[in-house]
Amino acid sequence: MILFIAFFQVGFDVYSWNVNSSTLNPVMVAGAYRAFDAEISSTNSMYVFLDSLATNNIVRYSSLDYGYNWGVRGSITSAGAFPTISKSVSGDTLFLNYYGPVLVDTATSVIRVARYRESAPGTLASAGFQDVATSTMPKYEYKMAVGNGIAWFIYTKT
């Protein structure tokens, strides 16, 4: 059986939806998120990265049961916004891009990458942070693609 899980945001609430069972689950704190991104690892662990609406905190939760329950909270940064997540071809390394520290005009902020290795199902260990786009020009959309030990980072300026 193929399992289909969808994530979506309504207002400031983030949900996971198990399409097979029609189960809809809120992801952690209701009414608290500006943006999010989610990914699944090679162990079928699910990770969701959330941008806290009021504080510019980026937090992470994991699920070992396809989004029915969410595990321990991990704090990524207290000065970040708009997370996007990519994974390596092997699926055991996740790359998180985000604005940080956040400037008054968020799009002119530095974009960082945080690399995480999965040390056990549902558990990520930080393998380093790096600034990847430091221009003061606005950067509106961004994403990282990773394969065969090479990482590509792209962003739009207008």
d(CA 137, CA 157): 7
Residue 91 has pLDDT above 90, yes or no: no
Give percent of the chain with pLDDT exceeding 70.
99
Query: Which residue type does 72 have?
Result: V
Q: Tell me the per-residue pLDDT of 7-56, one tens digit each, with 9 for 90 and over.
A: 999 999 999 888 888 888 888 877 889 999 999 998 999 999 999 988 88
100-121 mean pLDDT: 94
For the chain, give every domain's residue range: 5-155
What residue has token string 């189960």?
23
* Entry pTM: 0.90
pLDDT for 70 equals: 87
Residue 1 has pLDDT above 80, yes or no: no
User: What does pLDDT average to over the chain?
Assistant: 91
60-77 mean pLDDT: 88
d(CA 10, CA 101): 26
Residue 158 has pLDDT above 80, yes or no: no
Residue 72 has pLDDT above 80, yes or no: no
pLDDT for 144 equals: 94
